[in-house]
A and B are shown apart, each in its own frame.
Chain A
Amino acid sequence: MNQVVLQALNGLVVGSSLALVASGLALLFGVLDIINFAQGEFFMMGAYVLWLVLGATHNYALGFVAATVVVGIGGGLMLQLLTQPLLEKAHVLVLLATLGVSLIVQQLAQNVFGGDAKLLPTPIEESVDIGPITYPVYDLVIVAVGLGLLAAGFFWLRYAKYGVWVRAVAQNRPMAAILGVPVPRVYFLAFVISSALAGLAGALLAPVTSVFPNIGGPVILNSLIVVVAGGLGNFRGAAWIALLFGEVQSLGSIVMPPVVVQLVLFGLVIVLLALRSRRKTVLVRL
């Protein structure tokens, strides 16, 4: 019983941080039909920015804000630069370009920061009793921040001016442009938001996991699975599936080896996607 509660909470932590990365990917796909393979590296950069800020100031709040802003702006500019010349061509080229960037950034991080894992102290040491077990407060903070941001994102897409514009561009780009939506600005916004989400997720998780150059690998894989399973470009679907994914992975690992859980998840997603891909929908749906 203790094991189940513990793993359920762990699943929530994994799921909510995965949801941040995956919903950024889904947003990007919805608006521009592109998949950013460098999203895992943005996650990694967020973690390193937090590490750098902590080294200088010991201020966690500043570190989280810096990770979000630096990765958001940096990643946004980089995506803008990459996609600008390729938008009129096959979207596969964008995908390969982001893949190239991901390889380069990973190697550069290795060169600059070294291959060793950097350990960060947790910002909140306390634990609380939840039913039969005690659980670190910081992990609960991750869940709260993750879920809060997802809810905020949902309402932003639904009611805010730019949120509506994002959905309009996703639904019908030429029509949105004719009706006066500033399409290039919406693109840039999508770039910045999706990078910032990855950066923040990386910073939030850094004290729990530790920071090393290859940290983005499993992140991008899991979030790709989530985005695919949630319906490509579906913001809410990605968020829900991410939570479900975290739970299945954590709870499943009680009864099966983690690799087998992973394989079962792959199989499920493949079947799901194969069944669903007959009807083609690429919208940021709500």
Chain B
Amino acid sequence: MKAPLLAGLLVVPFLVPPFIGGYLPHQIASYLIFGLFALSVSLITGYGRLFNIGIGATFGVAAYSVAMLSQMDVTNPWLVLACSLVAGSLVSLLFGLYSIVATGIEYLMLTFLTTLAFFNIPLAAQKATGGENGLQVKHELEIAFGLDPLTGSGFYWFVLILVTAVAGLSWYLLASQAGQVVRAIGRNPTRTAAMGYNVSAYRFALTLYSGFVASLAGWLYALQAAFVFQDLLGPINSLNGLVYALIGGADSVAGPFMGALGLRWLSERLSQQSTQSSLYVGIVLLLVVFFIPDGLVGRWRQLWQRRKIGRAEPEGEPEVPAVSLAGAENESAL
């Protein structure tokens, strides 16, 4: 019963938007790309409990390297992909180092300062990066494996397949032995260290993997938008990713995608009617913090659990406390 339903759910996004056509596939592809970005935030923040508010730097560096390579007339798509991932990973190497030397508020401030520093780099290197004006991606067809993001469904399917694969891989990794250790470290690093696991090594690996996901998102973004600009590197983009992840539920794989879809759709709709989008983002942020700190998925899980417990006999399974950012159960929570 469950498997066919799941398969059906998976098939729908592959068929329906291209069938409807028009602008829809393009729009959904952009939501998926930002969902991927939010997933990388949720991996590190939701599961690893390392409060990274600078992951936009990874995303932006990956996107910028696509644009800069294309400006140098590099048209081999594989080379562009590889360079973009390597550049993004170098930034996440930096975050990895932070995760070794710092936790809690210091880690947060380090990541914040890093994204600020990267935000300023285009201004310091005007010529290579285009400065405040941003940078155009040239040869966008060649470097996107010949898929046109604007017409047809090819690029949409490409994004969808990639995103599904990465989401599946993330889910698999989190369910694996190593993923369980990462979660345990998130909940209580001291206890996990006492059990003999190398906390720093697991945190470092998680940071690198999340950086890989963010770089992939940045690469896809550059291919689709064919334009990169300063804000991609800075705190605004980083915080957007965090907010998507938090709204959807930072400790799930599906949550970040739901958050990105909902919030981007909302802000696109609102910005068509008025210029008050930062007002609405602020209000949404407050609503999330005060009413659904576990995100939509977390809230849904809570309700689901309550229903199950309500139906079961008193000796039914004990309520597992949801892993949430709101809980103050672990010392490293800020």
Contacts and interface: CB of A to CB of B under 8 A. Distances in A.
Asked whether A and B interact, the reply is yes
B11 interface: no
A262 interface: yes
Interface string A209-229: 000000000000100110010
Interface in A59-110: 85-86, 88-93, 95-97, 99-104, 106-108
A107 B274 CA distance: 12
Contact of A274 (B104, B110, B283): B110
B184 interface: no
A221 B107 CA distance: 16
Interface string A259-284: 11011001101100111011010100
Contacts of A259: 120, 123-124
B325 A263 contact: no
Nearest to B293: A93
A218 to B, nearest CB: 11
A35 interface: yes
B328 A228 contact: no
A89 B108 CA distance: 17
Contacts of B276: 107, 111
Given A104-B282, A259-B124, A273-B110, A93 B102 contact: no
Contacts of B104: 280
Interface string B84-121: 00000000000001100111111111101110110011
Given A90-B333, A100-B282, A104-B282, A273 B108 contact: no
A257 B51 CA distance: 32
Interface stretch (B16-24, B190-198, B209-217, B284-292): B284-292
A280 B334 CA distance: 13
A232 interface: yes
Given A91-B334, A92-B51, A97 B113 contact: no
Nearest to A260: B124
B285 A100 contact: yes
Contact of A97 (B110, B116, B278, B286): B286
A92 B285 contact: no
Contact of B124 (A97, A232, A263): A263
Contacts of B328: 88-90
Given A270-B114, A277-B101, A103 B279 contact: yes
B293 A99 contact: no
Contacts of A93: 289, 293, 325-326
A29 B114 CA distance: 21
B239 interface: yes
Contact of A101 (B109, B239, B286): B286
Nearest to B107: A277
Interface in A106-121: 106-108, 111
Contacts of B116: 221, 266
A153 to B, nearest CB: 23
A96 B293 CA distance: 11
Contacts of B123: 259
A104 B325 contact: no
Interface string A230-244: 001000000000000
Contact of A100 (B106, B124, B283, B325): B283
B281 interface: yes
A103 B113 contact: no
B327 interface: yes
Nearest to B97: A274
A228 B120 contact: no
Interface in B269-317: 276, 278-279, 281-286, 288-290, 293
B331 to A, nearest CB: 11
Residue from the set A90, A101, A273 with the largest chain B CB neighbour count within 10 Å: A90
B282 A274 contact: no
6 contacts: A86-B289, A86-B290, A99-B285, A103-B281, A104-B279, A232-B109
Interface of A: 29, 33, 35, 85-86, 88-93, 95-97, 99-104, 106-108, 111, 221, 224-225, 228, 232, 257, 259-260, 262-263, 266-267, 269-270, 273-275, 277-278, 280, 282
Interface of B: 51, 97-98, 101-110, 112-114, 116-117, 120-121, 123-124, 239, 242, 246, 276, 278-279, 281-286, 288-290, 293, 325-328, 333-334
